[in-house]
Amino acid sequence: MNVQHSAQTKPTGTLVSKDGVDPLWFKDAIIYQLHVKSFMDSNGDGIGDFPGLISKLDYIADLGVNVIWLLPFYPSPRLDDGYDIKEYTGVSPDYGTLQDVKRFIHEAHKRGLKVISELVINHTSDQHPWFQRARTAKPRLGAPELLRLVRQ
């Protein structure tokens, strides 16, 4: 194993990064996967949301997990259960705001929980600007808009 500038070795031989995090933490992780929309509704609209999820973090931590894996929560027309992402840097308004997500991550970390998110870049909504540009692009060999569409 090549341990360079970004990592160091503890006396036990365990590889850790400069910030003290084991880069292989996922090998022993106990992961709880959930879909925000179906986990906990805080405002009575029938759709789960980040405030509801925050209210259940103690419950999740008590299960003995150490990682929460979130399914896509980005804006989407939800024709593919949220995997048809319209905006990769936003939060579906049904689930809350970006501030709610930041608060959720902060609260999860306070309880020793890591948070991972499913980022599905090979799925894009037909409402995404990339897709819209590809639809209107003039057909020409090597057109980046069309290549992006084909690859998606």
The phi and psi torsions of 151 (rounded to 5 degrees) equal: -70, -25
To the nearest whole number, what is the mean pLDDT of the chain?
80
pTM over 0.85: no
- In order, the DSSP letters of 62-107 are HTT--EEEEPP-S----TTTT-S-S-TTS--TTT--HHHHHHHHHH
CB 37 within 8 A of CB 45: no
Question: In the prediction, which pLDDT does 11 show?
Answer: 46
Instruction: For 69-86, write each residue's pLDDT tens digit.
Output: 999 898 887 777 777 777
* Span 106-137, pLDDT tens digits: 999 999 999 999 877 666 666 667 777 777 76
**Residue 8: which pLDDT band, with cuts at 50, 70 and 90?**
very low
Q: Can you give the pLDDT at residue 80? A: 73
Rounded Cα distance between 137 and 152, Å, is 16
Mean pLDDT of 32-57: 96
Residue 118: φ, ψ to 5°: -80, 115
